[in-house]
Amino acid sequence: MEMVSLSINDIEVEVLAGTTVLIAAEQAGIHIPRLCYEPDLSFLGACRLCVVEIQGMRNLPASCVTTVTPGMIVQTHSPVVIEARRTILELLIANHPQDCLTCEKMGDCKLAQYCYEYGVKQSSLQGERHNYAVDDSNPFIFRDPNKCILCGKCIRACAEITGKNNLDWAYRGFETKATTFYDVSFGESDCVFCGNCVSVCPTGALTEKQMQGKVRHWEYQKIRTTCPFCGTGCSFDLCVKDDQVVGVVSSPEGAVNGRALCIKGRFGWDFIHNDRRLTTPLIKRKGCFEPASWDEALNLIADRLSEIKVKHGSNSFASLSSARCTNEENYLLQKFTRVVMGTNNVDHCART
């Protein structure tokens, strides 16, 4: 495989031919700011925050869409690059709400992070500002188009990860926006509520409705686990605060699914602390359910199953398992069904 040698910040780097400058810098341990770039998505070069200085080029190219060439000399943080990034950030916040104190994305907003790193406190540019209505129609996703920076991540995630193509660019010039077809609300669109657009949004334009007002991003602990809803084996991080699950976020490190999740995996966690969830065994006596101990419940089940097997035969019994159980629990259930009850009548909700 052809290798290319170049210099980045006076560091000699060798990468595969076809590698972008941004990725080459990452491999050299140099971080270049970016808002529209995402490893899982196609390259767009929309935000221009990743511009670098390349010897022999008149302009400052976006490093996420510029391919390395032999002998290329790159400076990622030269004075002219720093000044260009500050100007780009000022342009971005010129039409961006300044409600950071109450924004749900605070602590995880890349725009705020880079403004802090580059010392951009406010924009010196004054002009017309958007005043779009917020979109609260989706049961899981809250959309504030005023905070959109037109990075296009949500559009690419919907098309390239979910395969739904529910989002795209609309209008032109200052009125350009990333929205649904015909610019209808999320609730009226063909959105499948997977939330993959939320997982890549760098600002507060798209946030999880279930986590609103419950926790700040620096307050919860991330605990990696496996989704129980089907047999695919997707992994994600549970957001835990005070021993309570308050949300789910996907992780690019997921071995099976990467960042991708479906509606069940991302938003179907609310059953964990549902007040209707059973916490103790119940036995029906005289037509009413009464609390019982585990020993009482298990003894009753054993006696009744033995009676049914003797009276009606093994094939009168069948077991239906759940994807919410562990593999070990499902193994034990099918083993019990085949060995103890003597039948192969075993089924599972994930089969379909």
- pLDDT digits over 278-302, tens only? 989 999 999 999 999 999 999 999 9
Is the residue at 48 inside a domain?
yes
Here the CATH number for the domain that contains residue 239 is 2.20.25.90
Q: Which of 109-113, 157-161, 223-227 has the lowest mean pLDDT?
A: 223-227
Residue 15 and residue 42 in one domain: yes
Is the residue at 322 inside a domain?
yes
The predicted structure's pLDDT at residue 202: 97
Question: Is residue 324 over pLDDT 80?
Answer: no
Question: Is residue 349 over pLDDT 80?
Answer: no
Question: Is residue 348 over pLDDT 90?
Answer: no
248 and 227 Cβ atoms separated by less than 8 Å:
no
- pLDDT digits over 184-221, tens only? 999 999 999 999 999 999 999 999 999 999 999 999 99
Residue 267 and residue 223 in one domain: yes
Average pLDDT (163-174) is 95
**Quick one: residue 183, left, alpha or beta (phi over 0 = left, psi -120 to 50 = alpha)?**
left
Domain count, the chain: 4
| % pLDDT > 70, the chain | 99
Residue 36 and residue 66 in one domain: yes
Is the residue at 110 inside a domain?
no
Pairing between strand 73-75 and 3-8? parallel
The predicted structure's pLDDT at residue 1: 78
The predicted structure's pLDDT at residue 159: 96
Residue 7 and residue 73 in one domain: yes
Residue 289 and residue 337 in one domain: no
The predicted structure's pLDDT at residue 167: 97
Is the residue at 67 inside a domain?
yes
Write the secondary structure of the chain as one string of H (helix), E (strand) and C (coil).
CCEEEEEECCEEEEEECCCEHHHHHHHCCCCCCCCCCCCCCCCCCCCCCCECEECCCCCCCECCCCECCCCCEEECCCHHHHHHHHHHHHHHHCCCCCCCCCCCCCCCCHHHHHHHHCCCCCCCCCCCCCCCCCECCCCCEEECHHHCCCCCHHHHHHHHHHCCCCEEEECCHHHCEEEEHHHCCCCCCCCCCCCHHHHHCCCCCEEEHHHCCCCCCCCCEEEEEECCCCCCCCEEEEEEECCEEEEEECCCCCCCCCCCCCHHHHHCCHHHHCCCCCCCCEEEECCEEEECCHHHHHHHHHHHHHHHHHHHCHHHCCEEECCCCCHHHHHHHHHHHHHHCCCCCEEEHHHC
The helix (H) or strand (E) run that includes residue 73 is strand 73-75
C-alpha–C-alpha distance, residues 79 and 30, integer Å: 16
Here the CATH number for the domain that contains residue 41 is 3.10.20.740
Average pLDDT (316-329) is 86
The predicted structure's pLDDT at residue 298: 95
Residue 255 and residue 285 in one domain: no
- pLDDT digits over 3-41, tens only? 999 999 999 999 999 999 999 999 999 999 999 999 999
Distances (CA, A) of 168 to 44, 64, 75, 181, 273: 14, 21, 34, 7, 37
Is the residue at 30 inside a domain?
yes
Question: Is residue 350 over pLDDT 80?
Answer: no
172 and 125 Cβ atoms separated by less than 8 Å:
no
Is the residue at 97 inside a domain?
no
Residue 12 and residue 73 in one domain: yes
Is the residue at 61 inside a domain?
yes
The predicted structure's pLDDT at residue 352: 57
Question: Is residue 239 over pLDDT 60?
Answer: yes
C-alpha–C-alpha distance, residues 308 and 317, integer Å: 8
Residue 288 and residue 347 in one domain: no
Is the residue at 227 inside a domain?
yes
268 and 276 Cβ atoms separated by less than 8 Å:
no
- Structure confidence at residue 105 as a pLDDT band (50, 70, 90): very high
Distances (CA, A) of 77 to 83, 85, 331: 9, 10, 56
| % pLDDT > 90, the chain | 85
Mean pLDDT of the chain, nearest integer: 93
Range of the domain at 25: 3-77
Residue 18 and residue 55 in one domain: yes
